[in-house]
């Protein structure tokens, strides 16, 4: 199973952050265009600033976003970054992608939150028209911010549901910020029939996975620490709750993995838990989705049938209409039966 073959196989990506997946060239170009008073100090090595390193804490990893978010404060920049992400994904035959970001972080240049969502959605539309990739947005609230802010994001998701937005997410620092803090925002999303996925158990805190399930999350972002809570792990397996696994970033921030073979994803896979593979942040982790598949195949000696199962798990877990899922399944199955 070659990397070239993995690149050609139709794939889906459910967990990728817009502000973590700029092209490095684009980031540096947008940084140069910042007005004088907003430019980064000359002493800052911008290339290093957005490359957190091989390992570290989640909090350290998240610091890089201050730089990328700073250059994404205009409609043009947001649309461009979304379009280029669609282009990059389509180039490796990602046929469906859900792109997440927090719109409230992109209003420093005078845009309203609605303007922000519309700009990113326009980039996704252009990407669909140019490359045939199905693309939707997940609007993200931040665990370390107020419930009023998270409710504003949930309201935006409700307003733009079916207009470029496919779901609601909760992300940010884990320690000290359980998802239950934002219960009202999550309930608002549910009441508006907006699908919910929540980051939980990424770099600590397996108890947050249980909370996410209790709050009605349809998917779990990461869930790396699930094995630390056997009863919750069994619940996830029994109810076949999909996990959005991001191997490279998980390796960077987990605190216990030394290489890909240490990732518990194979344990979850063998338990029958739907595993999806994703990049999380293509810039910060310096990966594409093909890289992630290749690393996992190599680490666990996966067969083609295993890869097909993972891709189809992503299709089934997608926040997309059944008509789109049916088409995606047909594409995936045809590719795997072509040889």
The 10 Å Cβ neighbour count of residue 61 is 22
Alpha helix positions (H), the chain: 3-8, 24-33, 46-49, 58-62, 65-70, 75-91, 113-131, 147-159, 183-191, 207-214, 230-238, 247-253, 265-270, 289-300, 304-317, 322-336
Task: Let me know if 202 is a catalytic residue.
Answer: yes
Q: What whole-number distance in Å separates Cα of residue 197 and Cα of residue 141?
A: 11
The 10 Å Cβ neighbour count of residue 320 is 21
> Would you state the structure tokens that stand for residue 62, as one six-digit string?
């998240």
**Residue 331: strand, helix, or coil:** helix
Contact (Cβ atoms closer than 8 angstroms) between residue 198 and residue 210: no
Q: What whole-number distance in Å separates Cα of residue 265 and Cα of residue 224?
A: 8
> Would you state the structure tokens that stand for residue 56, as one six-digit string?
């570290």
**Cα dist from 251 to 112, 245, 258, whole Å:** 36, 11, 7
Catalytic residue among 98, 152, 174, 202: 202
Catalytic positions are 202
């Amino acid at each position: 199973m070659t990397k070239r073959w993995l690149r050609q196989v139709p794939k889906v990506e459910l967990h990728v952050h817009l502000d973590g997946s700029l092209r490095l060239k684009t980031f540096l170009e947008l940084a140069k265009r910042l007005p004088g008073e907003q430019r980064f100090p000359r002493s800052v090595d911008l290339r290093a600033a957005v490359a957190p390193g091989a390992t570290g804490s989640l909090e350290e990893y998240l610091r890089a976003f201050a730089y990328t978010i700073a250059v994404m404060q205009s409609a043009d920049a947001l649309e461009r970054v979304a379009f280029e992400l669609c282009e990059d994904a389509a180039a490796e035959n990602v046929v469906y992608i859900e792109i997440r970001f927090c719109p409230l972080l992109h209003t420093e240049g005078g845009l309203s939150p609605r303007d922000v969502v519309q700009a990113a959605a326009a980039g996704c539309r252009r990407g669909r028209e140019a490359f045939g990739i199905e693309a939707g947005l997940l609007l993200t609230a931040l665990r370390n911010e107020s419930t009023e802010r998270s409710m504003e994001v949930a309201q935006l998701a409700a307003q733009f549901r079916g207009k470029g937005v496919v779901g609601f997410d909760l992300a940010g620092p884990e320690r000290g910020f359980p998802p239950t803090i934002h219960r009202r925002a999550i309930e608002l999303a549910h009441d508006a029939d907006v699908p919910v996925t929540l980051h939980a158990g990424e770099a600590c805190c397996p108890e947050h996975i249980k909370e996410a399930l209790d709050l009605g999350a349809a998917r779990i972002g990461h869930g790396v620490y699930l094995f630390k809570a056997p009863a919750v792990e069994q619940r996830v397996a029994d109810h076949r709750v999909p996990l959005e696994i991001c191997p490279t970033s998980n390796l960077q921030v987990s605190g216990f993995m030394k290489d890909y073979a240490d990732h518990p994803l194979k344990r979850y896979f063998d338990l029958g838990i739907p595993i999806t593979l994703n990049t999380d942040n293509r810039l910060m982790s310096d990966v594409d989705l093909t890289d992630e598949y290749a690393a996992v195949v190599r680490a666990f000696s996966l067969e083609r049938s295993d890869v097909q199962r993972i891709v189809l798990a992503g299709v089934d877990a997608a926040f997309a209409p059944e008509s789109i899922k049916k088409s995606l399944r047909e594409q995936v199955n045809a590719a795997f039966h072509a040889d």
